[in-house]
């Protein structure tokens, strides 16, 4: 596997379910991100982790719970979601978060989430 991978690619869940999205990066990066891409809305940054420490929580509801056990893996735990949470969830990684030329973000293919 190369780059940034995400599983599952598609997920359908009920509002009372609990599920998790997984992201893995094979680039040796130290920072990882979760984005939400909804129809007709710009990409929204949800969370940023740098060296396994959360450095950004962009006013995301608590029904979304991120976890970064190491610099290669990032999870998004989902519970009690609403239909408006249906979206494409994208993971990205970068070398760091200092905003230098080296910190370009590389994206995974996304998980298409549908909440019934």
Interface residues toward other proteins, by CB under 8 A: 4, 6, 31, 41-43, 45, 48, 55-56, 90, 92, 94, 96-101, 103-110, 112
Q: Which C-beta is closer to other proteins: that of 56 or that of 67? A: 56
The torsion defined by the Cα of 113, 2, 65 and 112, in degrees rounded to 10, comes to: 0
Q: Which C-beta is closer to other proteins: that of 93 or that of 115? A: 93
* Token pair recorded at residue 51: 């060296």
Whole-angstrom Cα distance, residue 63 to residue 79? Answer: 5
Whole-angstrom Cα distance, residue 82 to residue 13? Answer: 10
**Smallest gap from residue 18 Cβ to other proteins (A):** 25
**Smallest gap from residue 16 Cβ to other proteins (A):** 28
Name every residue whose Cβ is closer than 8 Å to that of residue 96 and which is 6 or more positions away in sequence: 29, 30, 31, 50, 102, 103
**Smallest gap from residue 99 Cβ to other proteins (A):** 4
Q: Which C-beta is closer to other proteins: that of 82 or that of 104? A: 104
């Amino acid at each position: 596997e190369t780059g940034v991978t995400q599983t599952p690619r598609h997920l359908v869940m009920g509002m009372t379910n609990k599920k998790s999205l997984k992201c893995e990066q094979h680039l040796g990066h130290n920072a990882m991100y979760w984005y939400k891409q909804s129809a007709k809305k710009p990409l929204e940054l949800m969370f940023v982790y740098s060296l396994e420490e959360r450095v950004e929580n962009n006013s995301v509801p608590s029904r979304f719970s991120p976890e970064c056990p190491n610099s290669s893996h990032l999870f998004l735990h989902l519970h009690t979601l609403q239909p408006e949470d249906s979206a494409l969830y994208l993971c990205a990684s970068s070398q760091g978060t200092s905003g230098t030329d080296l910190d370009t973000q590389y994206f995974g293919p996304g998980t298409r989430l549908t909440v019934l």
